[in-house]
Amino acid sequence: MKRQKNNLLTGNQILSKPIPKNITVKQLIDEYFQAYNSGRLREAAHLFTEKMLEPDVTIGLSLTGALTPAGIGGSCIVPLIKAGFIDWIVSTGANLYHDTHFSIGKTLHRGSPFLDDRQLRDEGIVRIYDILFEYDVLLSTDAFFKKILRLPEFQQEMGTAELHNRLGKYIAQREKVLGIQHSSILATAYRCGVPIYTSSPGDSSIGMNIAEAVLDGFKIKLDVLLDVNETAAIVLNTKRTGGKSGVFIVGGGSPKNFMLQTEPQIQEVLGIDEKGHDYFIQITDARPDTGGLSGATPSEAVTWGKIDPNMLPSTVVAYVDYTIALPLLTSYALGKVKPRHLKRLYDRREALLGKLFKEYIKAKQKNIKPKNK
């Protein structure tokens, strides 16, 4: 009994020492994030920097919520992409749309969540909780996308990774013309070869502008089923080449599930032998008991085949506002780990999809039962 008790008390002591002036983010997290969700955030920081950022780990990031209007795109996601810390992304279209405001010279402002929304409407001001901007920001961003989406190169069927890569090229050009130094997620992903997928492409202003272009006779068409297989191919290739797969989930919703379903797609649907993702970090304010997080906590995800059961200790869920967690984790990682070589998965999509198809055919032939004579 005494030996068991000693094993349970091997963690660092809880310290109650004063926080010094001008402390670094790394010191703050390592020494003063000791319990509750600060403890989980510390564990997430250690998992991210000590295991997930090894060269052989492929990291997928999912983004939900009104994240980019708060400036998180340019302040956190862009530096992580440039450092090679993010290899592929699943995002809501809304986050990509609102991030583009900054790239075309539009401004969003700090405000208050306690204003009269009727007055704001009368004065042409849009509110996202405590973020305020002119209604013209939406109209100008719509006009920007309308012009691009009517170009000849968009008049074909494509997956959302190709759509976003093509959009990123023009956003990057616009930033250059305007002299904007802090790139958007789409422009940075274009430059770094990071594929970005949107699981519900019609559920955003980008999708709405595509729908309007189709009404206007243009031929752009999105193949979301191609996205399902491309993302599965990324994960399978990682495993087959001796690497590990890590998922970094910000929020929840459709992007969360779309990223996690890659493993059930490989195992359950395609019949290919696999075990699940290896590393799992989630920043969320949802709860499993109300259905908001059901099926997506690491332990539940194991039962779906989403997470490798043997890797369950390498998972962390921190119940923290992502506008607090992401800046801290970004600063911590950039200060602790050297930039990684860019995997440029966008450039390898077709090759990876070909490998997935070959494994699928083999698994299919293996699983076909001979008919009784």
Backbone angles phi, psi at 294, to 5 degrees: -65, 135
pLDDT digits (tens, 9 = 90+) for 274-320: 999 999 999 998 888 887 776 678 888 888 888 888 888 889 999 99
Quote the pTM value.
0.94
Q: Which CATH superfamily is domain 22-29+43-361 in?
A: Deoxyhypusine synthase (3.40.910.10)
Kindly list the catalytic residues.
Answer: 306
Q: Decide if 84 contacts 112 (C-beta within 8 A).
A: no
The ranges assigned to domains in the chain are 22-29+43-361
Question: Beta strands of the chain (E only): which ranges?
Answer: 57-63, 88-91, 109-110, 125-128, 131-134, 157-158, 196-197, 221-222, 244-250, 279-283, 315-318
What pLDDT is stored for residue 67 in this prediction? 93
Q: In the predicted model, what is the mean pLDDT of the chain?
A: 94
What pLDDT is stored for residue 299 in this prediction? 86
What pLDDT is stored for residue 4 in this prediction? 63
One digit per residue, the tens of pLDDT, for the chain of length 373 reads 556 667 788 888 999 999 999 999 999 999 999 999 999 999 999 999 999 999 999 999 999 988 999 999 999 999 999 999 999 999 999 999 999 999 999 999 999 999 999 999 999 999 999 999 999 999 999 999 999 999 999 999 999 999 999 999 999 999 999 999 888 999 999 999 999 999 999 999 999 999 999 999 999 999 999 999 999 999 999 999 999 999 999 988 899 999 999 999 999 999 999 999 999 999 998 888 887 776 678 888 888 888 888 888 889 999 999 999 999 999 999 999 999 999 999 999 999 999 999 999 999 998 776 555 4
Instruction: Enter the tokens of residue 290.
Output: 């109300």
Which residues lie closer than 8 Å to 292 by C-beta, 6 or more apart?
Answer: 252, 286
What pLDDT is stored for residue 54 in this prediction? 97
How many Å is the Cα radius of gyration of the chain?
Answer: 22
Which residues lie closer than 8 Å to 316 by C-beta, 6 or more apart?
Answer: 40, 43, 44, 47, 280, 281, 282
What pLDDT is stored for residue 371 in this prediction? 56
What pLDDT is stored for residue 373 in this prediction? 44
For residues 321 and 37, what is the distance between their CA atoms, to the nearest angstrom? 10
What pLDDT is stored for residue 187 in this prediction? 97
What pLDDT is stored for residue 10 in this prediction? 86
Report the DSSP beta bridge partners of residue 90: 62, 197
